[in-house]
Structure 1
Amino acid sequence: MIRVLIVEDDKFARQGIIDALPWEEHGMVVAGEASNGKAALDILAEQKFDLILSDYSMPGMNGLELLKEVKEKYPDTAFGMITLYESFDIIQKALRYGAIDYISKIQLEEENFDTMLSNLQNKILERREVQQKAKSVHICPRDTCYLFSCINNQDLDILCDKYPGIFRERPLEIGLNIYACYMADDREEEEKMFRTIKWPWYLVKVTGLGRYEQEKFFHLVRRYYRYHMFYYHESSTIAISWLERMVQGIRSVSEDEIGEIQEAWMDTDWLYDEKVFRKRLHELRELCLPFNVLFKLLVKVEDAVNRKYEDLFQDVNLHLPYHFYSWEDVSGWLEAVFYKMNQYISERQLSPGVMKSITKSIQIIYDEISSPLLVQSIAERVNMSRSYFSFCFKKVTGESFNQYVRDKRIKIAKEYLEKTDFTIMEIAEKCGYEDEKYFSRVFKQETGLLPTRYRKDRKAHTRVIL
């Protein structure tokens, strides 16, 4: 495995790079992370890495300065530069100082992950061509191999310390949190291992390796764990022939399928109906999406729920965990969201049907904010009488329908004033006001400022911050 160190001062950007890219598909594992150049050098003094991916713009020591230090102290370590823009000057210097490649953050946003990692992998493999040729002809030394993995990312040392003497020799790390150990067939030793290895660790015995090429075997294992074991992990015994068929049977999920499942989850009716929720959960698991695709889907679910319910109840605001180590973590997070929503509904003595109608009306408000929004029309569209709709709407939001609509229009108008150069008339129309003067009067009633003054003050405030 190509051991990678990520150096990026922005915590969320660093975590995004670690979680979103399909590292294992390209024989890589993120084995470390650092928030600046000095921290990276401290880590390098303790651990060996094959590749460093570093942001250029960092406080204290920028990416080029770190590159110089690395080339001087660790000449065998490959270095890739991450830049905000494709700056010719920075790129030229980085390549001249010894970087093997550069990555612009635009590439990361465009999600050209496979191409990007494939290029890096090929360049690293070219640097190690002699060693890799020798390695590629290695044959599995025994007919049987035991694979160990942990669903919550514990280090192998923890397992060795907990069960001393379980291994005759230290297992090989062949993937992120995947370890391989060749052993002669010994029923007593095998039974001991299967008895001893308990959650969160699990053990898979692979038989029939014979004269199987080791790198080919490791590649199959990485794909098996990436697409299957994340979702279905249990201790078991499998034959290499079964593993080959299993990996060959892994199909790519089409963009249309991903789009359909994404649309289903973003339509938050699953929050009110347990049968729908269980069905969606089962379908998602059966797809066995690669983790980077699954994580992007969960980010969109998080955003959809927060956007729909941020004004209703602050305590249901979702925060996606930094890591999911198994399907149980994913389903557990979604179930927590589901039960939290149902608890909210129960506390307010609302039926799921009423809650669904009110949230649907809120979605209509957001989607049609530039159009006339009349309480009678919206009530009919969500299949409620006007009076009962008005009563339930206020009970859920704490505001009357008309006041809620006005608040949303003013909130969106503020965003346009702060972030765009639209004219006041254009903003008024986008927020559902046909008359600019009336819009300005309402805006001042709500904020104490005319739109022109609000925009001027906010831009002045932004300049001071910058």
Structure 2
Amino acid sequence: MIKVLIVDDDKLVRKGISSAMPWSEFNMEVVGEASNGAKALDFLKSQPVDLMLTDLAMPVMSGIELMRATKQLYPELHIVVLTLHQDFDYIQEALRLGAIDYIAKVQLEKEQFEHVLHRIHTRLTGLTSSIRKMPSTNEINVHYPNVYALVSQDRKSEQKWPVELTTDGDVIRWEVERNSWMWAATHDEQDPLFHQLKASLDQIPHSTLLVLSDVQERTWSQIKNWIMNYTEASLFYAYNPEDRVITVSMNEEEILLKEPQDKDIDRIKQSWFQTPWTHHDAYYSQLIKQFTSLRLNKGQLMGLLYSLVMEWNHLFAQTTLGRISMIHGFDSWYEVEKWIKQTAIVIRKADEQTSYSQEIIHAVKKAVMIMQDDLEQAYTASGLSQQLNISRSYFSQCFKDLMGKTFNEYSRFIRVEKSKEYLLNTNNTIFWIAERVGYTDEKYFSRIFREMTGLLPSEYRQQGRGVK
């Protein structure tokens, strides 16, 4: 039974998640609740937990601080983050700290409970599934010219090997890990085994047949580990349903998964928002190359895509530029790229609904991202229009039509929205926050904040951190 701890400062959220989700259907049990990070750490000291769902914005100790602490104290603990739509920067930090999944509270509806738990359970079992004990020949060198591995990218449901082989002689087969098997035949003729395995591909969803060469003088354990590493680091990106047989040498240099760096994440974010990749093949190819060169694992890639979608919808969902949908699930890069292509179509169709050219739409999107990326800078419509080589009056009209707010209204809006995040997620002074969102006068910032929210910054922080 997977033991679950729910951490959120909102009692109703905790009780709702605890009681409404079908935990038992996924072999899970909620064993505790905590209203902040400090209380969560106290609970973890007294009772073992396998999975922790945590909010990011909490008093006393935030979710990010809690994740940093548990990463050191309980490295085996798996974490799912509960988010609000505007938490883009904190999602990125959670990704770097190893969160395995993300749940947007605003999208958490009853009919999605089962889908959410299924996704988390799939991720969890994929990370912790046990490996069957290797046969007694585990440490005996392999003397066959080839070893075959049939690997399914589908981790949603456990597959069983569907057919018996009819080759002459003895055939060794065992399970490497969940939905992954390997074979070696004890006779010289390998073709019958290969052709039967190739024919079985249609009976195993999302499967690939690996033909491993240079296996001589290696132990079964070494081969098993190599298959597992290749599946995680390379096959995810190499899988192609049109070409399901891959011949690969065990002498090839091992490709290792990388930890995402800030500069790499920022480069993809810049390409996603500031280049016309949805309309031009060259920019699309550049974006795809940036994604694949990162070599992120599935969980990290899911987090990055989730962050991009959340940021896009946060910026444009309420405008004429439209909303995009998150990929529901994927087992390979092939499926991710298919989703990216479909997303490009959605964005192009939204652009076509406006009366402006694609170049003007791109210029407005670029202006939005320039402002979002440097809130300390006091950008003006005049300065940005000059930078984008558009007349100020035309730029102002386009901006209002596409974004639904005047340039000045939007500038105040994004600064206040960012200041809300700082107020709830940090203990920094009002003056510090004002400076970070482009206001050098604390009193002027407070006046703008109250005009837009009805509360002073200090009142907003107190109300947001009050007992619920």
Shorter-chain-normalised TM-score: which range?
Answer: 0.5 to 0.7
Tell me which of 454, 457, 466 is aligned to 1:463.
466
Moved more, 312-321 or 210-219: 312-321
Match status 1:195 vs 2:199: yes
Distance in 1 between residues matched to 2:141 and 2:388, nearest whole Å? 66
Moved more, 265-274 or 412-421: 412-421
Tell me which of 30, 35, 59 is aligned to 2:28.
35
Partner residue, 1:153? 155
Partner residue, 1:359? 365
Structure showing greater radius of gyration is 1
Partner residue, 1:280? 287
CA RMSD of aligned residues (A): 4.7
Structure number having the greater helix percentage: 1
Shift of 1:277: 0.9
Q: Deviations over 1:104-162 (max 9, x none)?
A: 789x987599xxxxxxxxxxxxxxxxx999665234485543311223236564551xx
The answer to whether the Cα contact below 8 Å between 1:220 and 1:243 also exists between their aligned partners in 2 is no
Distance in 2 between residues matched to 1:83 and 1:258, nearest whole Å? 18
Letter in 2 for 1:463: G
Distance in 1 between residues matched to 2:380 and 2:70, nearest whole Å? 50
Distance in 2 between residues matched to 1:295 and 1:236, nearest whole Å? 26
Partner residue, 1:349? 355
Tell me which of 266, 271, 288 is aligned to 2:269.
266
Shift of 1:213: 1.9
Q: Determine helix, strand or coil for the equivalent of 1:277.
A: helix
1:10 to 1:328, Cα distance in 2 relative to 1, 3 A: farther
Gaps in structure 2 of 5+ consecutive residues:
9-24, 32-39, 52-65, 80-93, 100-132
Letter in 1 for 2:201: I
Distance in 1 between residues matched to 2:391 and 2:199, nearest whole Å? 63
Distance in 2 between residues matched to 1:83 and 1:362, nearest whole Å? 31
Partner residue, 1:319? 326
Partner residue, 2:139? 137
Match status 1:390 vs 2:390: no
The answer to whether the Cα contact below 8 Å between 2:268 and 2:290 also exists between their aligned partners in 1 is no
Shift of 1:8: 3.6
Tell me which of 395, 401, 412 is aligned to 1:406.
412
Distance in 1 between residues matched to 2:297 and 2:445, nearest whole Å? 48
Shift of 1:313: 6.0
Match status 1:181 vs 2:174: no
Q: Determine helix, strand or coil for the equivalent of 1:153.
A: coil
1:418 to 1:348, Cα distance in 2 relative to 1, 3 A: same
Q: Deviations over 1:65-119 (max 9, x none)?
A: 99xxxxxxxxxxxxxxx9985799xx8xxxxxxxxx865789x987599xxxxxx
Moved more, 374-383 or 384-393: 374-383
Letter in 1 for 2:387: R
Tell me which of 328, 336, 349 is aligned to 2:334.
328
Partner residue, 2:245? 236
Shift of 1:393: 0.4
Distance in 1 between residues matched to 2:281 and 2:246, nearest whole Å? 35
1:35 to 1:371, Cα distance in 2 relative to 1, 3 A: same
Distance in 1 between residues matched to 2:362 and 2:306, nearest whole Å? 22
Q: Determine helix, strand or coil for the equivalent of 1:182.
A: strand
Distance in 2 between residues matched to 1:219 and 1:275, nearest whole Å? 38
Q: Deviations over 1:263-306 (max 9, x none)?
A: 43111213453321123314543665554554555455445545
The answer to whether the Cα contact below 8 Å between 1:345 and 1:355 also exists between their aligned partners in 2 is yes
Partner residue, 2:123? none
Shift of 1:210: 5.4
Distance in 1 between residues matched to 2:172 and 2:292, nearest whole Å? 34
The answer to whether the Cα contact below 8 Å between 1:261 and 1:284 also exists between their aligned partners in 2 is no
The answer to whether the Cα contact below 8 Å between 1:416 and 1:427 also exists between their aligned partners in 2 is yes
Q: Deviations over 1:246-269 (max 9, x none)?
A: 2x2x355888x9666534311121
The answer to whether the Cα contact below 8 Å between 1:171 and 1:179 also exists between their aligned partners in 2 is yes
Shift of 1:340: 1.9
Q: Determine helix, strand or coil for the equivalent of 2:405.
A: coil
Number of equivalenced pairs: 370
Letter in 2 for 1:285: T
Q: TM-score, normalised by structure 2?
A: 0.62
Distance in 1 between residues matched to 2:206 and 2:77, nearest whole Å? 38
Matched ranges for 1:17-56 at <5 A: 34-36=27-29
Matched ranges for 1:376-455 at <5 A: 376-455=382-461
The answer to whether the Cα contact below 8 Å between 2:172 and 2:184 also exists between their aligned partners in 1 is no
The answer to whether the Cα contact below 8 Å between 1:83 and 1:103 also exists between their aligned partners in 2 is no
1:377 to 1:288, Cα distance in 2 relative to 1, 3 A: closer
Distance in 1 between residues matched to 2:327 and 2:408, nearest whole Å? 33
Distance in 2 between residues matched to 1:444 and 1:237, nearest whole Å? 62
Partner residue, 2:11? none
Q: TM-score, normalised by structure 1?
A: 0.63
Distance in 2 between residues matched to 1:225 and 1:383, nearest whole Å? 48
1:196 to 1:178, Cα distance in 2 relative to 1, 3 A: closer
1:368 to 1:316, Cα distance in 2 relative to 1, 3 A: same
Shift of 1:179: 0.8
The answer to whether the Cα contact below 8 Å between 1:308 and 1:363 also exists between their aligned partners in 2 is no
1:285 to 1:433, Cα distance in 2 relative to 1, 3 A: closer
Distance in 2 between residues matched to 1:57 and 1:171, nearest whole Å? 47
Q: Determine helix, strand or coil for the equivalent of 2:359.
A: helix
The answer to whether the Cα contact below 8 Å between 1:140 and 1:211 also exists between their aligned partners in 2 is yes
Q: Determine helix, strand or coil for the equivalent of 2:208.
A: strand
Letter in 2 for 1:325: D
1:425 to 1:223, Cα distance in 2 relative to 1, 3 A: closer
1:215 to 1:375, Cα distance in 2 relative to 1, 3 A: same
Distance in 2 between residues matched to 1:389 and 1:338, nearest whole Å? 25
Q: Determine helix, strand or coil for the equivalent of 2:466.
A: helix
1:271 to 1:134, Cα distance in 2 relative to 1, 3 A: same
The answer to whether the Cα contact below 8 Å between 2:400 and 2:407 also exists between their aligned partners in 1 is yes
The answer to whether the Cα contact below 8 Å between 2:154 and 2:206 also exists between their aligned partners in 1 is yes
The answer to whether the Cα contact below 8 Å between 1:84 and 1:104 also exists between their aligned partners in 2 is no
